[in-house]
């Protein structure tokens, strides 16, 4: 459920006592009710579902998440370090040997 997409708030106005905004989804624009994000400002990114902004999109968090994915490398050998494999199976934190090694449980 929940087809919701991120868009950028372009304009904000009060209509019939409700906070409405024109939201830009990369070129497509739609009127969105922002009553649930009372402090919404133009330039903010919001997550929109059926014409309502249900949450702010945390841009910094989005970029951090992507950066974390970038830090993971494509493993060249199938299972790499056998010691690391054994350690994982035992549930022991694997020491980060280099940047390409994924950290243990978060």
Partner 1 sequence: MAEPAAADALDFEGWVCPLPLRDSPAIVMGHGGGGALSAELVEHLFLPAYGAAADTTLGDSAVLELLGGRIAFSTDSYVVKPLFFPGGSIGDLAVNGTVNDLAMSGAVPVALSTAFILEEGTPLTDLGRVAQSVGAAATRAGVRLVTGDTKVVDSGSGDGVFVNTAGVGVVPDGVDIRPTRARPGDVILVSGDIGVHGIAVMSCREGLQFGTTVESDSAPLHELVAVMLGTGADVHVLRDPTRGGVAASLHEIAGAAGVGVELVEQQLPVPQPVMDACGLLGLDPLYVANEGKLLAFVPPDDAEQVLEAMRAHPYGKSAVIIGSVVADHPGMVVARTALGGNRVVDLPLGEQLPRIC
Partner 2 sequence: MKYLDEFSNPDLAKRLLDQIHAATTRDWAIMEVCGGQTHSIIRHGIDQLLPDEVEMIHGPGCPVCVTPLEIIDKALAIASRPDVIFCSFGDMLRVPGSTEDLFRIKSAGGDIRVVYSPLDALELARQNPDREVVFFGIGFETTAPANAMTVYQAKRLGIRNFSLLVSHVLVPPAVAAIMESPTCRVQGFLAAGHVCSVMGTGEYPPLTEKYEVPIVVTGFEPLDILEGIRRTVLQLESGRHELENAYTRAVRAEGNLPAMEMLRDVFEVTDRAWRGIGMIPGSGWRLSDRYRDFDAEVRFDVAGISTDESAVCRSGEVLQGLIKPHECEAFGKECTPRNPLGATMVSSEGACAAYYLYRRLELTPADQSAAQPQVVTGRG
**Could you say which of 72, 83, 95, 97 contacts partner 2 (CB under 8 A)?**
72
Q: One symbol per residue from 26 to 55: x for binding partner 2 (CB under 8 A), - otherwise; what is it?
A: x------x-xxxx------x-x-xxxx-xx
Q: Please list, in sequence order, all residues whose beta carbon lies within 8 angstroms of the beta carbon of residue 93, skipping any fewer than 6 positions away.
A: 87, 104, 105
Q: Is the dihedral of CA 89, 92, 64, 28 positive or negative?
A: positive
Which listed range, 18-26, 34-42, 54-62, 97-105, lies at the site for partner 1 (CB under 8 A)?
18-26
How many CA atoms lie within 13 Å of 64's alpha carbon, on the beta-carbon side? 5
Which of partner 2, partner 1, none does 83 bind, CB closer than 5 to 8 A by kind? none
- In contact, 12 and 34? CB cutoff 8 Å: yes
Instruction: List residues near partner 1 by CB under 8 A.
Output: 1-3, 5, 22, 25-30, 48-50
């Amino acid at each position: 459920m929940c087809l919701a997409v991120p868009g950028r708030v372009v304009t904000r106005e009060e209509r019939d006592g409700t906070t409405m905004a024109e939201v830009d989804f990369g070129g497509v624009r739609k009127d969105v009710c922002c009553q649930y994000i009372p402090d919404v400002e133009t330039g903010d990114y919001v997550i929109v579902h059926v014409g309502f902004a249900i949450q702010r999109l945390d841009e910094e968090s989005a970029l951090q998440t992507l950066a974390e994915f970038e830090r993971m490398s494509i493993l060249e050998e199938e299972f790499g370090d056998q010691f690391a494999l054994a350690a994982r199976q035992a549930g022991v934190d694997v020491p980060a040997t280099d940047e390409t090694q994924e950290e243990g449980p978060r």
